[in-house]
């Protein structure tokens, strides 16, 4: 109760309002009180001409750091256009966005009188009061349950419609506790001519309800029907050519879009979520990522986050490999959630990438690399990985690493990998680029030697999460995994863009998130010197030896 702890301010507030009441004929004070929430309240009537406005000046608990409210007292009508709804608080010159603790309650009462007197002058001709109140999109939609999303692509398509053009669209409906959002993903000009909204993921329709949308551009001089009366609305839209069985209508008039939803004997004006102004959010270099193909082996907690980050950054093509299934216990660290429980992680991660970036191309294989699989299937996967622009190991499995390192070396492709250490102490990121760093096997050996020299080998996971097995689980939370996935993604982007000079002066880093191993505190990071890539020793054959080998190969193609 500020008025108890700050008696001097309480005295000043009372004296200022008593002084105003003594000097101003328009103010009739009724007295002070404390409401049920122990807030201090000053009741008064403001007289404007022959009309009285009963109001209350309500002081908040944190006054003078937050402003008082001026609101009608027992009157549920609308007094002003500068009011938060009928019976709601007046929006005055002093508000939370410009309030300072030296402003007093008396100034809000004076502001209220100025507003009401201007809008209700003795001449009877109301005057507009300039508004400094600018609602954000979020504020304007807070009370709107039905919403219609207008993407830039849809806005451009509708802008090109001619008057009288009526089309049939297809919308997906996103159901959320606070709103239903309609998103148009297709519009048919004819059975053979269908416009597709490229901003909307095609996979979205598999997870949502669908609804037919009727679209019509009307002349600019024709009024948009009101949703206040259902019968009048039906008559008005029937004159536009709509039938009674069309239940979601979109009227385009000038540059405005007016959606309406019809439910039985009711009609509702649907709020539009306008197209966002296009703004550049990534540098020009990231545009080159769209053509890159990244092979990610392991779609667990680290791999799922890593792949999602790359998709957000503009990587356009993925080849995902994993055989594991998403279980409820995975949610503490995985990028997926209950909507994908029981599905293969690789498929659910692919769907996640498509939802993040609708233009992304994703191929998946539900196979266990370095596991018990058919040789032909394993060979097929390795062949696809060898064709990628970057091979990523997100498994922290040494057997998988050895296989991928061999593929990267033979195909002369860069490889990156990351690992989260147990206990929340940090992790590791590394890469190997052909002819720049040593091979992945030598890089890993250099890293192990670096930790060994410091007698600080970190705790690593020993349990195979796909098949079970002995050993304790890895102790790390979602923040630990995300903290390692983010720099790993940055290292991958740097590798894909072939930056010169690279943003990374080294190609392996031990990243600390807490005390343990080589780390004494959080955010302690150590670059690991890998040396230079050794020159590869190549065995050469003389002419006679080479000829003999070619002869042997030719015999393989001759019928036996």
Give residue 373's pLDDT band: very low, low, confident or very high (50, 70, 90).
confident
Q: What per-residue confidence (pLDDT) applies to 531?
A: 77
| Cα 445 from Cα 402, distance rounded (Å) | 12
Asked if CATH classification 3.40.220 holds for the domain at 138-273, the reply, yes or no, is no
Whether pLDDT at 12 is above 50: yes
Q: Of the ranges 130-134, 144-148, 172-176, 323-327, which one carries the lowest mean pLDDT score?
A: 130-134
Taking residues 62-85, report their average pLDDT.
91
For 150-207, write each residue's pLDDT tens digit.
Answer: 999 999 999 999 999 999 999 999 998 899 999 999 999 888 899 999 999 988 888 8
Q: Helix axis angle, 301-313 relative to 478-497, nearest 10°?
A: 40
CATH number at 2-134 = 3.10.110.10
Q: What per-residue confidence (pLDDT) applies to 474?
A: 66
Q: What per-residue confidence (pLDDT) applies to 538?
A: 64
**Strand residue runs (E) in 384-458:** 390-393, 415-420, 426-432
Q: What per-residue confidence (pLDDT) applies to 156?
A: 94
Give residue 537's pLDDT band: very low, low, confident or very high (50, 70, 90).
low
CATH topology of domain 286-527: Rossmann fold (3.40.50)
- As a whole number, the mean pLDDT across the chain is 90
160 vs 469, higher pLDDT: 160
| Cα 469 from Cα 5, distance rounded (Å) | 64
Collapsing DSSP states into helix, strand and coil, what is residue 497?
helix
For residue 60 the two structure tokens come to 């908040």
Q: What per-residue confidence (pLDDT) applies to 130?
A: 74
Whether pLDDT at 135 is above 80: no
Residue 108: phi, psi to the nearest 5?
-70, -35
Residue 189: phi, psi to the nearest 5?
-85, -35
For residue 194 the two structure tokens come to 């269908």
Collapsing DSSP states into helix, strand and coil, what is residue 172?
strand
pTM, entire model: 0.76
Residue 541: phi, psi to the nearest 5?
-110, 145
Q: Which of 333, 267, 332 is nearest to 306 (CA)?
A: 333
Stretch(es) of the chain classified as CATH 3.40.140: 138-273
For 268-308, give the DSSP string. EEPEEEPPPPP---S-GGGGGGGG-EEEEE--SHHHHHHHH
| Cα 231 from Cα 229, distance rounded (Å) | 6
289 vs 471, higher pLDDT: 289
Give residue 467's pLDDT band: very low, low, confident or very high (50, 70, 90).
very low
Stretch(es) of the chain classified as CATH 3.40.50.720: 286-527
| Cα 402 from Cα 385, distance rounded (Å) | 14
Give residue 535's pLDDT band: very low, low, confident or very high (50, 70, 90).
low
For 90-111, write each residue's pLDDT tens digit.
Answer: 999 898 888 999 999 999 999 9
For 14-54, write each residue's pLDDT tens digit.
Answer: 999 999 999 999 999 999 999 999 999 999 999 998 899 99
Q: Which of 459, 399, 420 is nearest to 334 (CA)?
A: 420
pLDDT > 90 fraction of the chain, expressed in percent and rounded: 70
Instruction: Measure CA 427 to chain center.
Output: 26
Q: Is 220 left (phi over 0), alpha (psi -120 to 50) or beta?
A: alpha
Q: Count the helices and strands in the chain (H runs, E runs).
A: 13, 21
Stretch(es) of the chain classified as CATH 3.10.110.10: 2-134
Collapsing DSSP states into helix, strand and coil, what is residue 218?
strand
Helices (H), 175-246: 230-238
Q: Which residues pair with 319 in a beta bridge?
A: 295, 363
For 389-436, write each residue's pLDDT tens digit.
Answer: 999 999 999 999 999 999 999 999 999 999 999 888 999 999 999 999
Give residue 462's pLDDT band: very low, low, confident or very high (50, 70, 90).
low
Give residue 540's pLDDT band: very low, low, confident or very high (50, 70, 90).
confident
User: How big is the chain, counted in residues?
Assistant: 560
Q: What per-residue confidence (pLDDT) applies to 205?
A: 81
For residue 23 the two structure tokens come to 């000097």
For residue 204 the two structure tokens come to 């979205």
* 8 Å CB contact between 514 and 523: no
For 340-362, write each residue's pLDDT tens digit.
Answer: 999 999 999 999 999 999 999 99
For 550-559, write each residue's pLDDT tens digit.
Answer: 888 777 787 7
DSSP annotation of 55 reads E
Q: What per-residue confidence (pLDDT) applies to 473?
A: 63
């Amino acid at each position: 109760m500020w008025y108890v702890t700050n008696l001097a301010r309480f005295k000043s507030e009372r004296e200022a309002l008593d002084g105003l009441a003594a000097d101003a004929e328009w103010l009739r004070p009724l007295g002070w009180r404390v409401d049920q929430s122990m807030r201090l309240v000053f009741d008064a009537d403001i007289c404007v001409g022959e009309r009285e406005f009963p109001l209350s000046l309500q002081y908040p608990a944190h006054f003078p750091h937050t402003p008082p409210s001026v609101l009608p007292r027992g009157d549920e009508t609308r007094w002003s256009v500068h009011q938060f709804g009928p019976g709601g608080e007046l929006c005055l010159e002093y508000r939370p966005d410009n309030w300072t603790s030296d402003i007093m309650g008396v100034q809000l009462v004076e502001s209220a009188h100025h507003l009401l007197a201007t809008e209700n002058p003795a001449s009877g001709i109301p005057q507009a009061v300039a508004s400094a109140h600018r609602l954000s999109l979020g504020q304007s939609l807070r009370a709107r349950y039905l919403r219609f999303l207008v993407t830039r692509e849809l806005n451009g398509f509708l802008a090109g419609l001619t008057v009288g053009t009526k089309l049939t669209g297809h919308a997906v409906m996103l159901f959320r506790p606070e709103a239903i959002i309609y998103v148009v993903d297709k519009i048919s000009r004819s059975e053979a001519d269908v416009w597709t909204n490229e901003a909307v993921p095609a996979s979205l329709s598999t997870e949502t309800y669908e609804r037919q949308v009727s679209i019509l551009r009307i002349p600019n001089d024709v009024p948009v029907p009101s949703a206040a009366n259902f019968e009048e609305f039906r008559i008005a839209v029937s004159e536009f050519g709509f039938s009674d069985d069309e239940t979601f209508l979109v009227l385009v008039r000038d540059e405005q879009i007016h959606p309406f939803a019809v439910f039985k004997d009711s009609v509702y004006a649907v709020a539009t979520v306008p197209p966002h102004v296009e703004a550049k959010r990534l540098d020009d270099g990231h545009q080159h990522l769209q053509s890159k193909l990244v092979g990610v082996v392991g779609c667990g907690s680290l791999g799922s986050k890593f792949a999602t980050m790359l998709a957000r950054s503009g990587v356009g093509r993925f080849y995902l490999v994993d055989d594991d299934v998403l279980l409820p216990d995975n949610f503490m660290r995985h990028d997926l959630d209950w909507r994908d429980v029981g599905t293969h992680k690789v498929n659910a991660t692919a769907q996640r990438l498509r939802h993040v970036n609708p233009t992304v191309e994703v191929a998946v294989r539900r196979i266990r690399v370095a596991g018990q699989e058919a040789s032909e299937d394993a060979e097929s996967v390795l062949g696809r990985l060898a064709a990628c622009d970057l091979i990523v190991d997100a498994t922290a499995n040494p057997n998988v690493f050895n296989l991928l390192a061999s593929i990267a070396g033979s195909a002369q492709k860069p490889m990156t990998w990351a690992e989260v250490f147990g206990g929340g102490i940090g992790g590791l990121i590394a890469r190997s680029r052909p002819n720049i760093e040593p091979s992945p096997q030598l890089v890993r050996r250099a890293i192990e030697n670096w930790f060994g020299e410091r007698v600080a080998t970190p705790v690593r996971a020993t349990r195979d999460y796909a098949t079970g097995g002995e050993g304790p689980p890895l102790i790390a939370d979602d923040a630990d995994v995300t903290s390692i996935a983010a720099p790993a993604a940055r290292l991958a982007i740097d590798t894909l863009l072939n930056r010169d000079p690279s943003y990374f002066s080294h190609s392996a880093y031990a990243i600390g998130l807490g005390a343990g191993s080589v780390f004494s505190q959080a955010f302690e990071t150590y670059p690991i010197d890998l040396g230079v890539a050794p020159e590869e020793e190549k065995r050469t054959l003389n002419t006679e030896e080479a000829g003999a080998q070619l002869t042997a190969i030719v015999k393989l193609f001759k019928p036996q």
